[in-house]
Structure 1
Amino acid sequence: MEHTLPTPRQTPSYLNLFTYLTANPSLKLSRQLHAHIILTHSSVSVHALFNHLIHTHPSSLLFNAVIRAYAQVGHYQQTLKLYSQMLSMGLCRPHYFTFTFPFLLKACAGLSLVQTGKCVHAHCLGFGFQRDLYVGSSLVNMYAKCGELADARDLFDEMPVRDVSAWNAFISGCMRSGMIRWAEDFFRRMERRNVLSWTAMISGYAQNGLPNKALSMFEEMSIGGGGSGVRPNWVTVMSVLPACAHSAALEQGKRIHHYASSVGLDRNSSVQTALIAMYAKCGSLVEARHSFDKLVPKGVVAWNTMITAYASHGKGAETISTFEDMIRAKVQPDFITFTGLLSGCSHSGLVEIGLRYFNDMEQVYSVEPRVEHYACVVDLLSRAGRLQEAKELIDQMPMQPSASVWGAVLAACRMHKNLEIGERAAKELFVLEPENIGNYVLLSNMYAEFGKWEEVDKLRGVVKSLGLKKKPGCSWTEINGRAHLFLGGDVLHQQAKEIYKLLEALPKQMKASGYVPDTKFALHDVSEEEKEHNLSTHSEKLAIAFGLLNTSPGTVLRVTKNLRICGDCHSAIKFISRIYDREIVVRDVNRFHHFQDGSCSCGDYW
């Protein structure tokens, strides 16, 4: 027989209905009750009605129901407030708490309130729930998410019976804290794994900068979870796609997309948004846009992802048009939207447009500028050579300038040869991030360009005394689904002989086309011949040469570099793209460069 809701005549009679639905959950009946409340109490919100009942007809059952409801929708502050209120009213019925403590602990974990969590733990002990499986797993989860892995491990070891959720909670906590070996050990020891177990490992690897391990585990899971029959769900797919983006593994990303499509997981909006980001970060804007266009409806995260994608590729006009489409779609922009928008203006030299958007942020769009927005505008002005204006903006900032702010100034000072402001920026950076050797290298390079070799030697002495080591330049490219890594001057690769033979032949062809090596990017006090040789062995050139040797004519070459591409390599790759009639996409630490027919998408503005 189909249940229908009785018609209550007085507000207090709702208590019986809430009690009934708590004990007998029914989505249909709950919606009927919600609709009835709206129709008969239009001036009273459901929240207000709950507050009314709690104050007029308080009961443990009602408090527990509301506490769980708040926790499930992420209203953690209100969850803990209600629990405190419940305790103050003396409504502590132990038999109702078995299913309430896990929600309280979830709230503590969500807010990273470990001390509050310890108080709830004490209450669990006081009510005798310390051996309850559900409560025990929630305690492990709370301590693990709050970074208290020792406490989480102790509780885990004391549990007489452990279900898969306790194992998963500890593995997730280990990955979140960077304790990868602990997580791997626990994963291996699990007798029974579910989709959350595999997903925790995959997302953990991706978040800890181990994309190859994340991809390898996804491959194993997608063919049946190592014999367990467990297969990826939409969360797993969404977790592994950033690993493809991190390593620029476009072919692997396409295979994951194909898998997701074959089982219907690509219909999930979060997966579709992750696909947009993956394709964009792997250098394929066309496929990123195709995934974006298929997404209906588009939320703010999807719009932000597409705006950021265009910005990172230096497509300023497309960045702006996408933002304007977002506004026309009546989607409210947030601070991430403007970070992408201003970055896009900066990379494309759209100074006045960028300044207008920055000025409109708060007044027109109700988004308060943050330090990252100031960093974008400082970068916008600095790249355009308006360094004095950038410095004045920094002096007017309502918050302390971050390292990204001064970093933008320092990089532009080298580009525009402004040593005075460059020294000021570098000194600020030495205080803000004393262990970042990149700042010392940039200033040292500026001194070298100005012929101030004594200052170069002083900086080298400081770097040596601090024990800092220069991050080696490396580049990688994916050929036939496999990543190939190259360090600067690499001679250990199995095809090193063929690579250097090709590179040795290139200068004659390029010089015949007008290429002149820019030896200021080989800033060692050595001969011009040695400088030219050093430039020819930069890692991105090695990766491109390898790609030319191992792909058929017309294949797009995609290279990722861990540092900023140097000016000489940028110039050389333009010539290579013309000589070999190839499209070459290079992603450096700042942005993408699309080289084709002797020119670059950045228009030499980078």
Structure 2
Amino acid sequence: MLRGGLSSSTAVLPKPPQPETLLPVIQSHIDSSQPKCTIPKPSPYTSTLQTLLQPISNQNAPRHSSYAPLFQFLTARNCLKLGQQIHSHMTLHGLQPNAFLGAKMVAMYASLGDLESAVTIFNEIESPTSLLYNSIIRAYTNCGYPLKTVDIYCKMHYLGLKGDNFTFPFVLKSCANVLNGWMGKCVHGQSLRFGMELDIYVGTSLIDFYVKIGELRDAKKVFDIMTLRAVSSWNALIAGYMKEGEIGVAEGLFGRMPRRNIVSWTVMISGYTQNGLAKEALSLFDEMMKEESEVKPNWVTIMSVLPACAYSAALERGRRINEYVNRIGLESNPSVQNALIAMYAACGSLVDARCCFNRIRENEKNLCAWNAMISAYASHGRGVECVSTFDNMIRAGVHPDAITFTGLLSGCSHSGLIEFGLKYFNSMQTVYSVEPRLEHYACVVDLLGRAGRLVEAMEFINKIPMKPGPSIWGALLAACQKSKNLEIAEMAAKELFVLEPENSGNYVMLSNLYAEAGMWKEADKLRAHLKCQGIKKNPGCSWTEINGKAHFFLGGDTSHPQAKEIYNLLEALLEKIKAAGCVPNTSFVLPDISEEEKQHNLTVKSWQLVLDY
């Protein structure tokens, strides 16, 4: 008999440590083992390993259940070495993982980025369970292998193992990622058989799945039958309606939400931006910024609203958002700075764009950052800076991609850097292994066209290894308008009329060329064709920002509150211009109107109204 009255045969074995009790113990050992002087100290890993294994070391024969909480604790703890050491300790004691312990080990290895070890352990277990399959399904999904996830689920189903609310969400996510509608619907059917459709996690995953494959009606059906809905259920459906451009329905759902989180607000703002509703996006962002708002913007929200500033050229609004970014400590976030670069470039402030680029640490300047800066310079026709930035990127060891060359070639084109542009295009495949796309061929056509080398541009198009698209023929037609080459313009326009029959701009460009050449019958035929087909010319639109408010103008616009004053100033300016001896060129305006009407049509362009305002 032992002291205390218990025989050795009935002695209570020590319980395995619980995960929640391990963190403070481990942290104290790591902290205490940090070197505080020059005397060598034990490794934190050695001390921590001893702490973790101490309860097991007191056991005569360690059991599987003793190791399970250790692997569970180390999951997602960034301690792969510790996990491997505990795994070795277990093996040295002659233990091989069973299905329960294997599930914990698979989860740990996958969460620490060692998917290969996770798969090896899974394959070695002879009698798998649903828990084990759930672990490997989650591992493959989180590591970005959706096809593997679907394959593993099929094997699980073949073995007769029942899926649950930990299985179906990951399988549905994988089906959505590969747009496998048929398989996802089969999984939906399985969830119905097992009574899982009303589960909050499974239901939300089903909504997200149907949204991503474009079957919004089915997503709404699932949403309607859910008796309990999470905020994520609402968010998924709102995102679906925004994606389909059904703004009103999304707004209705957003208004009915019993509770909103940061994702709810961000989904709405992002949806507004993607649908070109910059004013609504900025207005909703302003609501979040109010003092009484319980939800404040995060870095994802900021990245969603910045394009709205770019669309409306709201430079001052963008600067205020930049100030907020600095206040909440995101000034060194590369993703936010990349979005700020694009916003400032679109709003016309290259200086601010460059400041944001310089704010990113050198070791954090990834391809997106370099591309953003190259594209910024390209959009302002600063070809020399494009080339310089590209060279700096190569020296920094960052490999270019297709987006890089689109910006670089566009910058060269707008700056007249013909030879530089051709050199970089020819080096895409041979030096950088980047396959040219249609947009790159279009840039080269534009490059040659702006230099007046239209015959060379035409020969280049004939050698393109794929069918030329609208961007290529459009670049050639625009170049013909500048060079007054009617023959090649007719060839380009003929292709465009087939590729873009609804694009009025192509008809207008060719009509203007006919008008300048005095071929009024041909110009009349084109305009008559436009009218007969019901194709309307899109009016020019320009805007400016004053005191934080964007003012929009269309060609011939009279809707602005100060339209009368704007037109009075415009007329006064025209009189001064005429007095200085400058006369409007009306040669390409249709001849069947008076000279006064011709001059009027030329002087009510949207950009002129903006300047006068």
User: Matched residues in 1 for 2:191 and 2:412: separation?
Assistant: 55
Distance 1:273 1:19, change over 3 A: farther
Greater mean alpha carbon deviation, residues 70-79 or residues 504-513: 504-513
Residue deviations 1:401-443, cap 9 Å, x none? Answer: 1111111011111111111111111111111111111111111
* Letter of the 2:201 counterpart: Y
- Residues 1:258 and 1:292: Cα distance change in structure 2 (over 3 Å): same
Taking the TM superposition and a 5 Å limit, the aligned residue runs for 1:12-411 are 23-24=72-73, 26-28=75-77, 30-33=79-82, 46-57=114-125, 59=128, 60-88=130-158, 90=159, 92-94=161-163, 97-224=164-291, 227=292, 229-296=294-361, 297-411=364-478
- Within a 5 Å distance, the mapping from 1:495-506 to structure 2 comes to 495-506=562-573
Q: Write out per-residue CA displacement over residues 506-538 of structure 1, whole angstroms, 9 at most, x where no aligned residue.
A: 235445667453334645543444322222211
Aligned CA RMSD, in angstroms, stands at 2.7
Structure 1 pair 387/339, CA: closer, same or farther in 2 (3 Å)? same
**Counterpart residue type for residue 57 of structure 1:** I
Secondary structure at the aligned position of 1:28 is classed as coil
Shift of 1:448: 1.2
> Within 5 A, what are the aligned runs for 1:518-537?
518-520=585-587, 522-523=589-590, 525-537=592-604
Question: Is residue 333–residue 360 contact of structure 2 (8 Å, CA) maintained in 1?
Answer: no
Kept in 2, the 8 Å contact 1:319–1:344? The answer is yes
Take 2:236 and 2:165, find their aligned partners in 1: how far apart are those partners?
Answer: 19
Q: Give the Cα–Cα distance (whole angstroms) in 1 for the partners of residues 149 and 509 of structure 2.
A: 51
**Counterpart of 1:147 in 2: which secondary structure?**
coil
CA contact (8 A) 1:37 1:46 kept: no
CA distance in 2, matches of 1:295, 1:35: 36
Aligned to 1:571: none
Preserved contact between residue 516 and residue 588 of structure 2 (Cα < 8 Å) = no
Deviations 1:75-128 (A, max 9, x none): 32333233234434x16243xx32221122222222333222212212222332
Q: Secondary structure at the match of 1:365?
A: coil
Per mean C-alpha deviation after superposition, the further-off stretch among 22-31 and 495-504 is 22-31
SS of the residue corresponding to residue 189 of structure 2 reads helix
What is the percentage of aligned positions where both structures have the same residue? 57
CA contact (8 A) 2:71 2:83 kept: no
Runs of 5+ unmatched residues, structure 1: 8-12, 547-606
Higher relative contact order (CA 8 A, sep 6+): 1
The one-letter amino acid of 2:302's match is V
Q: Provide the C-alpha distance between the structure 2 equivalents of 1:51 and 1:533, rounded to a whole number of angstroms.
A: 75
Q: Which amino acid aligns with 1:70?
A: Y
Residue 440 of structure 1: aligned partner? 507
Q: Partner amino acid for 1:103?
A: F
Distance, in Å, in 1 between the alignment partners of 2:521 and 2:236 is 56
Amino acid at match of 1:383: R
Distance 1:115 1:342 in 2: 43
List alignment gaps of at least 5 residues for structure 2: 1-24, 27-47, 55-61, 90-112
Residues 279 and 288 of structure 1 are in contact (CA less than 8 Å); yes or no, is this contact kept in structure 2?
yes
Shift in alpha-carbon separation, 1:278–1:38, aligned structure 2, 3 A: farther
Secondary structure at the counterpart of residue 544 of structure 2: strand
- Aligned CA distance change for structure 1 residues 310 and 179 (closer, same or farther; 3 Å): same
Secondary structure, in 3 states, of the residue corresponding to 1:406?
Answer: helix
Supply the distance in 1 between the matched residues of 2:481 and 2:529 (Cα, whole angstroms).
20
Q: Structure 1: which amino acid aligns with 2:258? A: E
Q: In 2, Cα distance between the equivalents of 1:425 and 1:22?
A: 66
Kept in 2, the 8 Å contact 1:19–1:62? The answer is: no
> 1:267 deviation in Å?
3.2
Distance of aligned partners of 1:21 and 1:100 in 2 relative to their CA distance in 1, 3 Å threshold: farther
Structure 1, residues 531-582: CA drift from partner, whole Å, max 9, x if none? 2222221111111111xxxxxxxxxxxxxxxxxxxxxxxxxxxxxxxxxxxx
SS of match in other structure, 2:431: helix
Deviations 1:318-360 (A, max 9, x none): 0010011110110111110011111111111111111110110
Q: 1:278 to 1:545 in 2, by over 3 A?
A: same
Separation in 2 of the partners of 1:307 and 1:78? 38
Partner of 1:421: 488
Within the candidate set 480, 484, 490, 2:547 is matched to 480
Q: Give the TM-score, by structure 2 length.
A: 0.81
Moved more, 57-66 or 401-410: 57-66
Q: Which amino acid letter does the alignment assign opposite residue 50 of structure 1? A: A
Q: Counterparts of 1:431 and 1:37 in 2: how far apart (Å)?
A: 68
Between structure 1 and structure 2, the one with the greater Rg is 2
